[in-house]
Structure 1
Amino acid sequence: MTKSASAEQAEQVEGVEVGEARITIPGMGEEGEKLATAHVETEHTHGGLGESTTKSKSGGSRADRTTSLSVADFPMPTGREEEWRFSPLKKLGRVLSDAATQTPVSLKLRSSADGVTHGALALAQSPRGTVFSAADRAAVVGYSQTAQADHIRVAADTELTEPLFIDITGEAAGHRANAHIVLEAEAHSKVVFVMEHRGSADANLNVEVIVRDGADVTVVSLQRWAEDAVHVGQQDAEIGRDAKYKHVSVTLGGDVVRLNSNVRYAAEGGEASMYGLYFADAGQHLEHRSFVDHNSPRNSSNVLYKGALQGQDARTVWVGDVLIRKAAEGTDSYEKNQNLILTDGARADSIPNLEIETGLIEGAGHASSTGRFDENHLFYLMARGIPEKEARQLVVRGFLNEIVQAIGVSSIEDTIHQDLENELEIAGF
């Protein structure tokens, strides 16, 4: 599932030499002690159409950013902060204010089985807050303004053959809703959680995922909001020893959606896969940020997000951070983002960031691409007798289908295919 730089036909990473045994990083010895400490401001670009030029300092490490469960540690953002400079703060003002819930979202566990419990956790009640630590003002406000978090727990050694569906519905447009969900999979359990967001709200929703040793957990987060909904959230996971975690985020609805999906490791042998699919229409702002914190040795991660955009002022943002700490020897990590712009007037920002503090790794790399519809693919299909409209649909479906297939739940995959058909109809495809 993850890519190794020593594998055949590995993708080249600028500035990194691939050797027979391991990747060696210029200016760094095997123990990482030669890692440069001087922080020099650099200007760089990523992506194609709609790319942005950014100025960054190497001193602005992802590891140095504030994390806290106290609202006082996060002032109201101005838009000049690195984590907020792409976000439409005027539209997000209501969910950033330290305000109580006006109309709560309804949460329904639609399916259950033996070994599954659904309860509540107060602010200081374990395991709430053992994995989650807010990385921005939205997350900490949502956490602190939720008096009772939903706690869904799967007992040790329980293997569920059917997904646990969690319906999250906004009940009032423009009304503030705060919520926090704790998903806990005990040792050697296996479960697929499917969270589906619908309706209208100004929603500040956080998710905390605890993956115990040897567990196999998939979390699918579907954003199918009404067109007037605003949704911000942070979805954190910690992966235990020899455990597997897959996170899939699919965002199709909402006026503004801004999600942070983060992973760290509790011990060795953990595997993380993070997938994302988004399709933005005119006026929509869909923003996804991922952070993989390789904080322990011999773990792996693979991140792949794909998006399509159509219509005037359709906007998507993807920021992917991977940090390989000094202690994380033997890490194998890769991240990629690809965007397909279908019409004029749309913009995609794509920024992969990779920090490495040790030379003893199996592999590390990132890639980003943003471009228009590939006319060569279209010509290939039309030359074989496929009408132009159908050929265009096939190209877009083929581009996004890799993410759909990663979900692994056939009923959900079928509904997403239908959603994508509806999106293509809007674009006139």
Structure 2
Amino acid sequence: MLRFLDPAEHYFWILDQVSSMNFVVIAELKQTFNSKDFEQALSVLQAQLTEEAIFNLVVQSTAEGRLYFETHQDSISLETLNSRQAAHKVLAKYLPQKFTLDEPLVRAFYINHSQQNRSSIALMFNHAIADGKTGMALLRRWLDLHAEVLSEQAGSIISTPSLACQQPLLQANAPLHQLLPTYFTLSANADSNAPQVQLSELLEQRKNDLRRFGRPDALTLTNSQPETSQPETFAIELDTAQLQQLQQACKRAKCSVHGALMAAQLLTIKQLETDDKNRELTLCLTSPVDLRRFFADKHHDIGMYTSLVYSAYRIGSNTDFWSLAQQASKEIKLQLERGDASHFYHLAGTTDIPLLPEAMAQFKVQILKSAPQSLISNIGVIPDTGLDYVQQLSFALCPIPSQPIFTAVTSYKGVLRLNITHDQSQTQPEVIQLLVENMKQRLLESCFI
């Protein structure tokens, strides 16, 4: 046994037992390649990482249902696909395929879009062992190593190796809660109940924040919660000029780009939820946040280091886009400063739930009772790989019953990419198509304030 799962890792593993929590990082390439070269580069990547790192991990359970990591000796194989569809469309179908105990927690794909003379590669992860930033770092390293393979075959040297190729991968798989500084640890003093009291107070504060507008409204654009997920992904892109206009507008409005994206998604969902313009809705939106910003030791980068913040918003006919964007930006900042994100996995109450049938049945009931909400996950700006044939880097997440709409955001080579994934068994494609179109239109219109 390497170690028991951290509360963050444990949370995503047991949530995965209710509905798949997989995510995928994707590189879209302007030409086709020999998949054997990517397979060779993947083998090198696995060999470069220590045996405790992501590619060599499996999750196992004790008789009492306590989860722990163990290593495996098998190599991750490369699955080759052929498709006319875009990579995000192809890979969405694989997102619900869960990883099981004793199974390696990463899958690798090469997609040949031969009729368009294009290709894609992708890494799919169980969320318990990685977050989007981790996945993207490993994807970029894979691209670097593949470029080295091509260079060796040509007998030349890569002229513009990326930053990822020049620097070693940082330490991997350290538990999140061991890396957070002490001021984010629940304080203990002479009173042995102090940490639990502090946690209870923070939990009550969070409940009051979420209930300030009453119970969130159910999303009528979704159907009853299904037993199986059928993800489908749509893509939105803002080109360099449009992204710059959005950034400038956000600067003038004194809010973040992420806040503007949240406003666009909330207002679009409200528009699709009701034809009554005068009706107000209370909508919830979740944002994953990167906790690496708080690490005292910056040498840890590869692992599951993301937490969640979420807020309720009252949306009416007179809700102003930029006022909502400002509110959303402030909410995230407040929760980060208050410690909501750092304590999320303790607040969620999942730390002591064992992987046992009765406990998981109760947990599933609890999850399915959750008010439906949407999510925006934003990795931010991805450094240029320095490889001209890499057109786009993006990612996508598998929707779950309580979060049927997942938006995954990246910015690469000056292009903003939003992969919006929904569950076809919960939402109608034509409704999501409207959401995609309206959301892009709102973002473009917001540039001109």
TM-score (norm 2): 0.28
Q: If each structure's strand is expressed as a fraction of its own residues, which one has the higher value?
A: 1
Q: Which structure would you say has the larger RCO, counting Cα contacts within 8 Å and 6 or more residues apart? A: 2
Structure with the bigger percentage of helix: 2
Q: TM-score, normalised by structure 1?
A: 0.29
